[in-house]
Amino acid sequence: MSYDWTPLLLSFKLAAVTTLILAVIGIPFAWWLSATRTRFKPALEALVSMPLVLPPSVLGFYLLLAFSPNNFFGKFIDQWFGVRLAFSFEGLVIASVIFSLPFMVHPVQSGFQSLPASLSEAACTLGKSRFVTFLRVLLPNIKPSLLAGMVLAFAHTIGEFGVILMIGGKLPGETLTASIVIYDEVGSLHYATANFYAMVLFAVCFTILLVVFLLNKKILRAGG
């Protein structure tokens, strides 16, 4: 019996793209959050953490409304970028980025906060710009946190179900991810097929986490 690998590949593609985008925007954002003195910080932190407590259906519902070409945001993206967000891979990516944001931001932010302030101050008195300090002093010293953030974001996106169900529309090769297929196959009583997808997800996720923890131990032992 041969199985369709497309949903699995789609899940991993979605997770990879999401993690990449989160690394680019989430890490600088976590740095900013760790250093900012704005009085809106508690509100921002609460917003970032919302996906942890909110039912995925709530977020999915509002994203669906926002992505709709009949509404402002969806229309704007459609007209200016020619991208239809509802029921498309691009839409899933945006939803996953929002939904996995706390998984990237939290570990990285606490990583930055664990560094003594004197490190950035020392770089500052040595005439280094904030950007150089960020790149060469701060980032290399929070490698375990960066790794944790990326892995959690990746794994959480693989496991995402509710939001994708709400805004994906189960288009094969476009929005039908492995987690949705498992649900559908069980619903149609195809336990063997569901088991195949479930096993692959289980094995791959376990392997990723195992490699990460092994690497992390090595990094920690090497003293960063």
**Site residues for another protein per CB under 8 A:** 116, 118-119, 121-129, 136-137, 140-141, 223-224
Write the Ramachandran bin of 9: left for phi over 0, alpha for psi from -120 to 50, otherwise beta: alpha
- Cβ nearer to another protein, comparing 42 with 223: 223
Contact 110, 32 (CB under 8 A): no
Contact 178, 197 (CB under 8 A): yes
CB of 133 to another protein, least distance (A): 10
- Cβ nearer to another protein, comparing 44 with 139: 139
CB of 123 to another protein, least distance (A): 8
CB of 127 to another protein, least distance (A): 5
CB of 113 to another protein, least distance (A): 16
CB of 105 to another protein, least distance (A): 22
Eight-state DSSP code of residue 137: I
- Cβ nearer to another protein, comparing 139 with 205: 139
- Cβ nearer to another protein, comparing 125 with 188: 125
- Cβ nearer to another protein, comparing 84 with 128: 128
Closest CA to 220 of 139, 149, 145, 154: 145
For the four alpha carbons of 102, 182, 74 and 18, in that order, the dihedral sign comes to positive
Closest CA to 18 of 175, 150, 177: 150
- Cβ nearer to another protein, comparing 42 with 127: 127
For the four alpha carbons of 133, 48, 89 and 81, in that order, the dihedral sign comes to negative
